[in-house]
Amino acid sequence: MRIRNLFAVVMMAGIYSLLSAGLFTIMDAVDVAFTEAAVGAGISTVLFLGALALVGHHERKPGHTPLLPLIVVLVTGGALVYGTMDMPPYGDPGNPVHHHVADHYLEESPHEIGIPNIVTAVLASYRGYDTMGETTVVFTAAVAVMLLLARRPRRPEEEEDEA
Amino acid sequence: MREQVIVRVGAKVLVPFIILFGLYVHFHGDYSPGGGFQAGVILAAAFVLYGLVYGLDAVQRVLPPAFVQACAALGVMVFAGVGVLTMFLGGNFLGYGVLAHDPEHGQHYGIIGVEAGVVITVFGVMVSIFYLFAGRGRRSG
Amino acid sequence: MTLLSHYNYWVVILLMMVGFYTMISRGNLIKKMVGLNVFQTSVFMLYISMGKIRGGTAPILMDAHGESSETAHVLYSNPLPHVLILTAIVVGIATTAVGLALIVRIKETYGSIEEDEINQIEAEGAA
């Protein structure tokens, strides 16, 4: 956080993303790790670099002291740590999250869907509505970026109409 | 980066394999990790790599901006179209069982269909966002 | 041992604190976006770690048709959080792109991406 050069910040963020992809693999989420490696370490870094090329890569020294944000963050973190005391332990098969619909997906999807990758089965079939919504969100984001960036930057000397 | 021989040749060799891998990830997504979102991102990464190394004009000759924007919209339409198709065939919206005689095969076809929609949208969106950022820099700078 | 069994949450909370602190203490908008991404990844990790079962394996069935998957006694991790996070990552990158596009426009309008400089320009414009 003390690095002033934003290029270094973005490259560190890319490395962090790749490491978190490794962590997802350890926690058995191979599909998620795959996506994180492709999206977080690949496309996201390229987008950040593209934005940096447009806005400049040097950060000015912040004027105010970071004391208040630090207190806020520590209080939030402390409250959350207190909250975890009631959470189920890590890796326990008896956790409530595993006994609502996950059992159904794991046991019935071979007969109902017939494809081995359960993540794909749930994504495209059981939760098809969700995925359609997500696809629409991604499309909407592209439209928003187009609205923001597709027009020529307004300069007094570039008043001729757009191609 | 345009005068670096190793980068130029390396990128040219890699791009077809990246595209092939992206298609593999899509069509083999039923059996191994992968699926529409990853495949779309990998396909987009191939063209982003080409654009980074050879310049925006070169990649836009291969893939015009209008085409990728149309892709982004087309994918959502394919996804919803599969849903509407199953509805017309007498099933529920996005209930793929009616697409074939055997409901299990119907599920296969339906999943490949909607995943294809996801691939097209994600690919179109990612490439067109890249075009917008890169094109903005060229115009204003 | 019961205390250590919650370490996944603490890692997530630590990451979240790093991201949150970056977001609220830095004036640079690009750095805020990086902080937001760190924050986002911490939420992904929370979900994925809840789906993990000790001794489980990735939720891809061992045989193609699933006839003997019950008899094989393979323990799979919970696929549901994976699905949710898979789509969340892609939506996350899309929203990041929108944020970056907004930053680019702010830079073009104000000539700066530092929050306090923008506030200063705004104040001068209003006065």
- Record: contact A20-C41, CB cut-off 8 A: yes
A16 HSE (CA, 13 A, CB side): 20
For residues A128-151, give the mean pLDDT.
86
Give pLDDT tens digits for C68-111. 444 456 777 888 888 888 888 888 888 899 999 999 888 888 88
Q: Does B136 touch chain C (CB under 8 A)?
A: yes
- Min mean pLDDT across A110-124, B34-48, B50-64, C18-32 is at A110-124
Q: What is the pLDDT of residue C68?
A: 47
Contact A104, A127 (CB under 8 A): no
State the total domains in chain A.
2
In a domain, A126, yes or no: yes
- Record: contact A113-B134, CB cut-off 8 A: no
Q: Which of A10, A111, A148 sits opposite C34 (nearest CB)?
A: A10
Chain C positions touching A85 (Cβ under 8 A) are: 6
The residue of A138, A147, A149 whose CB has the most chain B CBs within 10 angstroms, and thus the best one to mutate to test that interface, is A138
In a domain, A18, yes or no: yes
Give pLDDT tens digits for A79-92. 988 888 777 777 77
* A54 and A4 belong to one structural domain: yes
The full set of domain ranges for chain B reads 5-140
The full set of domain ranges for chain C reads 4-53+75-126
For residues A44-70, give the mean pLDDT.
80
Does B2 have pLDDT greater than 70? Answer: no
- Record: contact C24-A73, CB cut-off 8 A: yes
Average confidence score pLDDT of chain C: 81
Q: Could you tell me the residue range of the domain that residue A129 belongs to?
A: 97-153
% residues pLDDT > 70 (chain A): 88
Buried b (16+ CB within 10 A) or exposed e, A14-44: bebbbebbebbbebbbbbbbbbbbbbbbbbb
Q: What is the pLDDT of residue A56?
A: 78
- Record: contact A135-B96, CB cut-off 8 A: no
ipTM of the complex: 0.83
Average confidence score pLDDT of chain A: 79
Give the distance from CA A160 to its chain's centroid.
Answer: 40
Say which amino acid occupies A128: G
SS3 A28: coil
The residue of C93, C100, C105, C108 whose CB has the most chain B CBs within 10 angstroms, and thus the best one to mutate to test that interface, is C93
Name which of B122, B107, B106 is nearest B72 in CA terms.
B122
Q: Does A54 touch chain B (CB under 8 A)?
A: yes
Chain C positions touching A106 (Cβ under 8 A) are: 59, 76, 79
CA distance A135 to B29: 17
Rounding to the nearest 10 degrees, give the CA dihedral for residues A97, A80, C96, C50: -20
* A48 and A103 belong to one structural domain: no
- Record: contact C97-B129, CB cut-off 8 A: yes
Structure tokens belonging to residue B29: 């997504």
Does B133 have pLDDT greater than 70? Answer: yes
Q: Which of B41, B79, B125 sits opposite A142 (nearest CB)?
A: B125
**Distance from the A159 Cα atom to the nearest Cα atom in chain C, whole angstroms:** 16
Q: Which of A36, A106, A153 sits opposite C76 (nearest CB)?
A: A106
Contact B121, A132 (CB under 8 A): no
Chains interfacing with A (3 or more CB pairs < 8 Å): B, C
For residues A5-31, give the mean pLDDT.
87
Reported confidence tier of residue C58, pLDDT bands at 50, 70, 90? confident
In a domain, A35, yes or no: yes
For residues A3-20, give the mean pLDDT.
86
Q: Which of B37, B136, B140 sits opposite C87 (nearest CB)?
A: B37
In sequence order, the β-bridge partners of residue C53 are: A91
Structure tokens belonging to residue B71: 């892709």
In a domain, A74, yes or no: no
C4-53+75-126 domain in CATH 3.30.1330.10? no
